[in-house]
Homo-oligomer: A and B are copies of this chain.
Amino acid sequence: MEQSSEKAMVSRRGLLKSVAAGGGALAAGSLGVHAMGNMENLPPNVADWSKILGEGVDARPYGTPSEHEKDVVRRHVRWLTASTESSINFTPLHDLEGIITPNGLCFERHHAGAAEVNPHDYRLMINGLVDKPLIFTLEDIKRFPRTNRIFFLECSANSGMEWRGAQLNGCQFTQGMIHCVEYTGVPLKLILEEAGLKPNAKWLMPEGGDAAGMNRSLPIHKALDDCLVAFKMNGEALRPEHGYPVRLVVPGWEGSMWVKWLRRIEVGDMPWHTREESSKYTDLMENGKSRRFTWVMDCKSVITNPSPQSPITHGKGHTVLSGLAWSGHGTIDRVDITLDGGKNWRTARIDGPSLPKALHRFYYDFEWDGSPLLMQSRAIDSSGYVQPTKNELRAVRGINSTYHNNGIQTWHVMKNGEIENVEIS
C-alpha cells in the first residue's frame, strides 16, 4: 500500500514569498522567513542548548512530553456533568496531527470513574446460552491468536450539544470525544467458539467491571464479525481509563458499547434493554418515541486546524487547513472543503493510511487573503453516504436527542485570525 498520494503533493516553489508577506503584517521578526544576507555557516544565534549536555538516557525510563507542550492536554467542562467520575474529558484534536492519537491524550468517558484493576485478579466470564461457561484469566486470553487493527472510537454524544445550535467554542469540546489507536486483541469470535454458542444464541451482554457495571446488548452478527477482546493500545497495555487490562472493541459502533474493564459476557436470545440503551444512548425523536439500537457511527468530518482554539496567527498568505474524517461503515472516499459557507467546494487531499473504521487525515492548502471565512468540511464514505448538514439532520430527527449528530461543523474565521463556532442556515 502506498502511504500517501504523491501526485497531490505539488511543488510549492514561491510559497515562502507569501509566507514572508504574511509575516510582515505581524510584529517584525515574530514569524515569516528571513532571507539571509552575508552569513557565516552557522545560524545567527547559537542557542544555549547547543552548548551544554542534555539529559541522559537514564533520566526518563518512560518518556514524557516537552515542558513547552504542557497545554496539550485533555480538558473537561465543569458544568457539563454533576461529578468528575461520571463525566467526560476531551481529546485536544486542534493540537494533533496524523491519524494515531497518543494514549495519554485519548478522551475519557466514565460512568463511575476509571477503575484501577489488578491484572492478576482480573477475570472474564462467559455465561448464558453456551455449551460450557468459562472464566478466563488475562494470561488465558493472551494464549489465543491475536490481531492488530487501527480503529476510531467515537462516543455517540460527540457534538451532542450542537443539535440545538453552535455551543462550545473549540474543536476539542465540540468534536473531541473521539480517538484512534492501534488495538491488539483476540477476535471475540474465538472466545465465543471456545465456550460454544447454543443454536438460540442471538445476543450478547458485555458487562464492565467498574462500579457502574456498564452493559449493553450486542447482536451476535457483529460479535462474530470484527469485535475484539483487546488488551493493548498503540503497542502497550491499555491505560486504566480505557479499560485496563481488557476492553471490548466494537469497530465503527458507538463508544459506549466498547465495554471497559470487561468482566463478563452473557449470551442470550433477546436484547436486554439495559439502562444505557433505553433511558440513555437512544435518540429521542420529535414525536416522543426513541430510535433504538443506533449503533453505527455515521460518516463525519471536522476541520481541526485552524479552529477556535487554534486561530490563524500568521496573517495573510499560505495556510494549512487540516482535518479528520471517519465512518463506521468503512473508509473515506472524499472530503470537500468550503471557505465561503457552502457556495464553492474544493476537494481536500486525504493523506496517510486509509483504513476501514479508522480516522482519515485530510488537508487543504490555501492562500488566505485576510477576509472573513466560513469554513466547513463534508465527507463521503465508501458506501456513498454524504455527511449531512445539521439542518438536514434536524428535519428528520428533531432536536430532542444528544446523540448521533454527524452534521457539518462551521468555523467562522474573522479578519484578525480569531475563529468562532457558528451555524449558518
Q: Which residue of B lies closest to A185 (CB)?
A: B97
CA distance in complex: A146, B9 (Å)? 8
Contacts A35-B134, A146-B322 aside, 19 further interface pairs with beta carbons under 8 A come to A1-B356, A9-B187, A33-B134, A49-B261, A53-B211, A57-B85, A58-B89, A63-B104, A63-B241, A98-B182, A100-B234, A102-B234, A102-B235, A105-B235, A142-B320, A145-B365, A146-B320, A148-B361, A149-B352
Stretch of A66-74, A277-285, A416-424 at the chain-chain interface:
A66-74
Q: A84 at interface (Cβ–Cβ under 8 A)?
A: yes
* Contact segment of A13-21, A162-170, A372-380: A13-21
The reply to whether the CB of A396 lies closer than 8 angstroms to some CB of chain B is: no
Interface positions of A from 186 to 203, Cβ below 8 Å from B:
187, 189-190, 193-194, 196
Contacts of A287 in B (CB 8 A): none
Whether the pair A63, B239 counts as a contact (CB closer than 8 A) is: yes
Residues of B contacting A404 in the complex (Cβ-Cβ under 8 angstroms): none
Known A43-B263, A76-B57, A145-B320: A244·B50 in contact at CB below 8 Å: no
- CB contact under 8 A between A73 and B99, given known A85-B53, A139-B313: no
The answer to the question of A264 belonging to the interface, with a C-beta cut-off of 8 Å to chain B, is yes
Number of interface residues of A (CB under 8 A): 149
A16 and B140 contact, Cβ closer than 8 Å, known pairs A54-B114, A104-B63, A266-B41? yes
Interface of chain A residues 1 through 45 with chain B (CB within 8 A): 1-4, 9-13, 15-16, 19, 22-23, 31-36, 39, 41-45
**B133 touching A35 by the CB < 8 A rule?**
yes
- B241 & A60 in contact (Cβ 8 Å cutoff): yes
A90-114 contact mask (Cβ, 8 Å, vs B): 1 or 0: 0000011111111111101110111
Of A31, A34, A49, chain B has the most CB atoms within 10 Å of the CB of: A49
**What would 26 A/B residue contacts be, using CB atoms closer than 8 Å?**
A15-B194, A23-B140, A33-B135, A33-B137, A36-B125, A36-B133, A42-B125, A43-B263, A47-B209, A50-B263, A53-B113, A54-B115, A54-B210, A54-B211, A56-B87, A59-B114, A61-B75, A64-B239, A65-B236, A102-B236, A142-B320, A143-B318, A144-B318, A145-B363, A150-B353, A353-B355
Q: How far is the CA of A89 from the CA of B133 in the complex (A)?
A: 45
Instruction: Say yes or no: B235 contacts A42, CB within 8 Å.
Output: no
User: Measured between alpha carbons, how far is A138 from B418 in the docked complex, in Å?
Assistant: 20
Which A315-337 residues sit within 8 Å CB-CB of chain B? 317-320, 322
Q: Say yes or no: A123 contacts B58, CB within 8 Å.
A: no
Alpha-carbon separation in the docked complex, A84 to B57 (Å): 5
